Amino acid sequence: DIERARRFEEIAEELKKRDAVIVAHYYTDPDIQALAEATGGCVSDSLEMARFGRDHAASTLLVAGVKFMGETSKILSPEKTVLMPTLEATCSLDLGCPVDEFTAFCDQHPDHTVVVYANTSAAVKARADWVVTSSVAVDIVEHLDSLGEKIIWAPDQHLGRYIQKKTGADMLLWDGSCIVHEEFRARGLEQMKALYPDAAILVHPESPESVIALADAVGSTSQLIKAAQTLPQKRMIVATDRGIFYKMQQAAPDKILIEAPTAGEGATCRSCAHCPWMAMNSLDNILAVLRNGDQEIHVDPALALRAKVPLDRMLDFAK
């Protein structure tokens, strides 16, 4: 529509003035993903966002996602300005893993290798030996297990349990969870599968174990998009944030995509299949931050240097 097209033009102009590029997550609003595509930015998972931001020539990164993604961009590119539509957008995994408690836990197990999910603060990353995203977590834990290392895993307990089962690694799990994925329910999924027996079930491993058990494909957002393209089924029941449907449908235009059922219903559900923090990003606040430059991510330089070590380890491993 015309209003949207005008917004895109206004934003594109501000991006040019600031020598900025948009780095957007799959879970943001489809309008934001379309905007990123139309202006030469990227739409991807947190691993690819980190790489794209680091390697892009622009001097300013506009990170549309949640705070840990902005922090990761800043850690990898300290010389760049990193703006976010709003600094209020956080993540229940990040919130559920405060650095003091986490450090005390790690100190109690000095013989363990500390592996943290990308969905953590810069300070937690700085305490870690490895940072992983869901697209490389299994491979990295497998690698560490083959070296005989014992692992502390934080913060997502469901993803941790899934990896532990898959690799057989010795893992101590932090008890964090994602408020979006933990709402998916096996019972509802079974009922839906009874309605559509021909459907494939795609599940992000931040979901409960009983939901993962029903899956035809388990994986990170990028891996689920690939599964939608390659699995033979025409109909897909998808257990992850509904923001993914934009790129999944683009990648697999002939597939019928259905949202997996969640525990809550309608207005009683705060986070049913859509992250409330991802939802804080909008065309309006993107334009606003490009105009006034507030909502800038800062990470203490000494802390950033320490957090960069386990991040680089992941990026080198994932090459």
Is 117 annotated for ligand binding? yes
> Considering the rule CB under 6 A, would residue 179 count as an interface residue with ligand SF4?
yes
Is 275 annotated for ligand binding? yes
Of 28, 77, 86, 119, the one binding ligand CIZ (CB under 6 A) is 119
Question: In terms of CB distance, is 86 or 119 closer to ligand CIZ?
Answer: 119
Report the partner that residue 277 touches, choosing among ligand SF4, ligand CIZ, none (CB closer than 5 to 8 A by kind). ligand SF4
Scanning residues 47 to 76, which ones bind ligand SF4 (CB under 6 A)? Answer: 66
Find out whether 243 and 28 touch, Cβ atoms under 8 Å: yes
Scanning residues 257 to 286, which ones bind ligand SF4 (CB under 6 A)? Answer: 275, 277-278
Of 33, 73, 92, 120, the one binding ligand SF4 (CB under 6 A) is 92
> Considering the rule CB under 6 A, would residue 157 count as an interface residue with ligand SF4?
no
| CA atoms of 262 and 252, how far apart (whole Å) | 24
Is 246 annotated for ligand binding? no
> Considering the rule CB under 6 A, would residue 224 count as an interface residue with ligand SF4?
no
Report the partner that residue 179 touches, choosing among ligand CIZ, ligand SF4, none (CB closer than 5 to 8 A by kind). ligand SF4
Is 106 annotated for ligand binding? no
Question: In terms of CB distance, is 120 or 221 closer to ligand CIZ?
Answer: 221
User: CB of residue 137 vs ligand CIZ: minimum separation in angstroms?
Assistant: 9
> Considering the rule CB under 6 A, would residue 178 count as an interface residue with ligand CIZ?
yes
Provide DSSP, the chain: -HHHHHHHHHHHHHHHHHTEEEEEETTS-HHHHHHHHHTT-EEE-HHHHHHHHHH---SEEEEES-HHHHHHHHHH-TTSEEE-S-TT---HHHHTS-HHHHHHHHHH-TTEEEEEESSS-HHHHHT-SEEE-TTTHHHHHHHHHHTT-EEEEESBHHHHHHHHHHH---EEE--B--TTGGGB-HHHHHHHHHH-TT-EEEE-TTS-HHHHTT-SEE--HHHHHHHHHHSS-SEEEEES-GGGHHHHHHHSTTSEEEEPPBSS-GGG-SSTTS-TTGGG--HHHHHHHHHH--SB----HHHHHHHHHHHHHHHHHT-
> Considering the rule CB under 6 A, would residue 134 count as an interface residue with ligand CIZ?
yes
Is 12 annotated for ligand binding? no
Q: How far is CA 235 from CA 34, 113, 194, 251, 256, in A?
A: 24, 41, 13, 14, 5
User: CB of residue 67 vs ligand CIZ: minimum separation in angstroms?
Assistant: 11
Find out whether 262 and 188 touch, Cβ atoms under 8 Å: yes
Question: In terms of CB distance, is 11 or 124 closer to ligand CIZ?
Answer: 124
Of 60, 73, 133, 157, the one binding ligand CIZ (CB under 6 A) is 133
Question: In terms of CB distance, is 133 or 157 closer to ligand CIZ?
Answer: 133
Question: In terms of CB distance, is 15 or 211 closer to ligand SF4?
Answer: 211
How big is the site for ligand CIZ, counted in residues (CB under 6 A)? Answer: 10
- Per the annotation, where are the binding residues for iminosuccinate? 25, 46, 117-119, 134, 204-206, 221
Interface with ligand SF4 (CB under 6 A): 27, 66, 91-93, 119, 178-180, 241, 275, 277-278
